[in-house]
Structure 1
Amino acid sequence: MGVLGQPINFGVSMLDDKRQEEERLQVLKGYEILDTPPDGAFDRITALAARFFQVPIATVSLVDEDRIWFKSRFGLSATEVERAPGLCASAIFSDKAYVVKNAIDDPRSLANPLVVGALGLRFYAAVPLVTHDGHRLGTMNVIDFEPRDFNAENEAALVEFAGLVIDQMEVRLAAHKAIGSLTTLIKTVPELGIDEVATVCAWTKKILIDGVWYSFDEFLSQKLGLTITHSIHPDAAKGF
């Protein structure tokens, strides 16, 4: 249930190509972000977006198999909603901002329960969350209860907010992969004296060894004696 007890039906239609949809879902699950606790990095993005656009609601929405799950939501009580035809059905497939300036007069949204129901949505703008390799995982949305204009500069800004979300997701995924590799490595080097439980900082991703916090690079160089060089992963390079 959403604001004022009104069921929310942000939705997205099934892709025509079933294989493509299955691949998209596999990529989404690979980010290991669904059903994770609130995250300050994402919450700051939605709060900043709401303030920037002067709207009461902003969300980061991820499209799962049968639901829309909000990784972050500002001004909205719902944590997830059913995946049914609705505004996000068009927004996730749009190559630019999908904008409804006045929902009560827009044929695309006249029958939407968010518009005709108690919530009374009047303005909606969203851009898809697209990974560096082209997978559409969800949308970045801003919502208002009053009609409003949304110019090209606003659209460009919303695209940038969506880019910040994807950047955070990529950083989070890279950290998880690094920690996974580190865990495997640790278990193969028993002389390090690390037992089955390792303490890792949730924010900095540093690992605690013998009372000392080490970054990933420091661990590899100081504890394993490896020489460290740096490069750019091909997926990350696509963003430049």
Structure 2
Amino acid sequence: MICMDMIPQNEEDRLQNLKKYKILYTKSEPIFDQLAAITVTMLNTPIAMINFVDRHKVWTKANQIGESGLEIDRQSCLCSLAILNESVTVFEDITKELYLNSNPLLAGEFGLKFYAAAPIVTKEGFNIGSVCIMDKIARTFSVSEQKKLTWVASMVSVEMHKRIDSRHKFA
């Protein structure tokens, strides 16, 4: 069961918009793999992912090593929180966020301490996913770095819009 606080008010419209892009559960694509790899290098972090938030799962389109297809329950994925915000979501030290301490990605052996995500916004204005970075150490995240993460998320949006535009050209 997903916490209602993690559900945008426009959830049904958002999900319909996400489906329009036909990006969920698709094969790895070099452009998205490259954007994740660039994000790791540009922001000096060990993990970067391009994730899309479906009804019950958060699905990974790409990460920094070219993998896709990872699925995480929406209720335990911080990207579910990131799509609720219009700007970058940042947890510089997750251990200070008491309401997140029971999250399985934060507690236990994986032990994330830092998380930042910029929403992926469609032309229609829906936050359908995020570009996120993570680390096992707490760190500061400057305004300049937030702008870079937002820039990558906007590049993901551009690539997604190309999918729609190319389908209309051949329709």
TM over 0.5: yes
Structure 2 unmatched runs, 5+: none
C-alpha displacement at 1:132, in angstroms?
2.1
Question: Which of 129, 132, 136 is the equivalent residue of 2:123?
Answer: 132
Comparing 20-29 with 145-154, which one deviates more in the overlay? 20-29
SS at match of 1:34: coil
User: Is 1:104 aligned with 2:95?
Assistant: yes
Question: Which of 19, 25, 37 is the equivalent residue of 1:29?
Answer: 19
Question: Which residue identity lines up with residue 36 of structure 1 in the other structure?
Answer: T
Question: Which residue identity lines up with residue 31 of structure 1 in the other structure?
Answer: Y
Matched residue, 2:7: 14
Matched residue, 1:59: 49
Report how many residues are paired.
Answer: 166
SS at match of 2:109: coil
C-alpha displacement at 1:87, in angstroms?
1.9
8 Å CA contact 2:52–2:130 kept in 1: the answer is yes
Matched residue, 1:120: 111
For residues 86-106 of structure 1, the C-alpha deviation after alignment (integer angstroms, 9 at most, x for no partner) is 422321111211111111223
Question: Which residue identity lines up with residue 119 of structure 2 in the other structure?
Answer: P
For residues 51-73 of structure 1, the C-alpha deviation after alignment (integer angstroms, 9 at most, x for no partner) is 11111110111011211111112
8 Å CA contact 2:50–2:61 kept in 1: the answer is yes
C-alpha displacement at 1:109, in angstroms?
2.4
Distance 1:78-1:117 versus aligned 2 partners, 3 A rule: farther
Matched residue, 1:172: 163
For residues 189-229 of structure 1, the C-alpha deviation after alignment (integer angstroms, 9 at most, x for no partner) is xxxxxxxxxxxxxxxxxxxxxxxxxxxxxxxxxxxxxxxxx
For residues 107-129 of structure 1, the C-alpha deviation after alignment (integer angstroms, 9 at most, x for no partner) is 34222211112101011000111
Question: Which of 84, 88, 93 is the equivalent residue of 2:79?
Answer: 88
Larger radius of gyration, structure 1 or 2?
1
For residues 3-29 of structure 1, the C-alpha deviation after alignment (integer angstroms, 9 at most, x for no partner) is xxxxxxxxx8223x4xx3111111111
8 Å CA contact 2:76–2:103 kept in 1: the answer is no
8 Å CA contact 2:28–2:62 kept in 1: the answer is yes
Distance 1:77-1:22 versus aligned 2 partners, 3 A rule: closer
Larger RCO (alpha carbons 8 Å, 6+ apart): 2
Structure 1 unmatched runs, 5+: 1-11, 182-240
For residues 155-207 of structure 1, the C-alpha deviation after alignment (integer angstroms, 9 at most, x for no partner) is 1111101000000000122112222x1xxxxxxxxxxxxxxxxxxxxxxxxxx
What percentage of residue pairs aligned between the two structures are identical?
Answer: 31
C-alpha displacement at 1:85, in angstroms?
4.8
Distance 1:106 1:121 in 2: 12
What TM-score, normalized by structure 1, do the two folds share? 0.65
Question: Which residue identity lines up with residue 42 of structure 1 in the other structure?
Answer: F
Distance 1:108-1:151 versus aligned 2 partners, 3 A rule: farther
